[in-house]
Amino acid sequence: MKLALPPAFIYEWRRSRSTRSTIWLLALIVASAISTGVNELANGTEEGFLSGAVGHVSAAGPVAAILGAMAIGTEFRWNTIRQLFITFPRRYVILTAKIGVIAGLVAAASLLGSVVGTAFGVVSGDAVGSIPDWLGLSLRGMLVLIGWAVIAFGLAGLGKSTIVGVAVPIAVAFLVEVALLQVAPDGLLTAVLPFVNASEALSVQVPAGEAFEHLAVFWAWVLLSLGACMFVLGRRDA
């Protein structure tokens, strides 16, 4: 039986595939795993098997953000948003398809990154750790990367700009949250910061249950960004 995908998903799949930067950015996610692995080979690691599952995520997060932001930002940049909404007048259908395709691509690249990273990790560190723990870390790594992409998509949609979608999450993750952590390291504020929680969700030392709670906090921000984008793009004049 042939699987019939909705036209919006086929459209978005063809759009992504015909953009060379998509291929390069996905390759960069996998390259992040290779780079981290080579670094571990050079310097050694204590938890090669488990840390290899998520070693690529920190570096690949901004790359996933670029992918997510470009999925909607380029529609504004090239003035194709009107044609898009004429083709798909039920806007949430194409927006959902865009999220779905980007999520699928990032998930596949992340999984490949986990496998590659683990291979390097086992060689450079050890093979200690259970398969369920590895799967849990890989899943959380994948969801964090998808989260980066979706947050960037939402912000790019709200700001009608790829640059907004990429710059804002990077600035929050690497500047704003770092500063806040220094000012109030144990405050309530830091407990709800998105990227601090994403980082905790990927820690090998954090128990799986607690790690998924951190992931849930991160995803609350992801869904907030996506919901705001859907709401605004669904109503705003194109």
Closest contact distance (angstroms) between CB of 101 and another protein is 12
Which DSSP string corresponds to 64-102? HHHHHHHHHHHHHHTT-HHHHHHH-SSHHHHHHHHHHHH
- We find the least distance from the C-beta atom of residue 100 to another protein, in angstroms, to be 14
CB of 157 to another protein, least distance (A): 16
* Cα distances (Å, whole numbers) of residue 147 to 20, 112, 179, 181: 23, 17, 22, 21
C-alpha–C-alpha distance, residues 20 and 86, integer Å: 25
The letter for the amino acid at 15 is R
Here the tokens at position 122 are: 């086992």
Q: Which residues bind another protein (CB under 8 A)?
A: 7-8, 10-11, 13-15, 18-20, 74, 78-80, 82-83, 85-90, 235, 237-238
Closer CB to another protein, residue 87 or residue 130? 87
Q: Which helix (H) or strand (E) holds 182?
A: helix 177-183
Distance in angstroms (rounded) separating the CA atoms of residues 155 and 171: 13
Nearer to another protein, 90 or 178 (CB): 90
> Which of residues 58 and 104 has its CB atom nearest to another protein in the complex?
104
- Shortest gap between Cβ of 235 and another protein (angstroms)? 7
Closest to another protein by CB, 94 vs 152, is 94
Report residue 215 as tokens: 């992931």
Minimum CB separation of residue 18 from another protein in Å reads 4
Q: For another protein, which is the closer residue by CB, 88 or 212?
A: 88
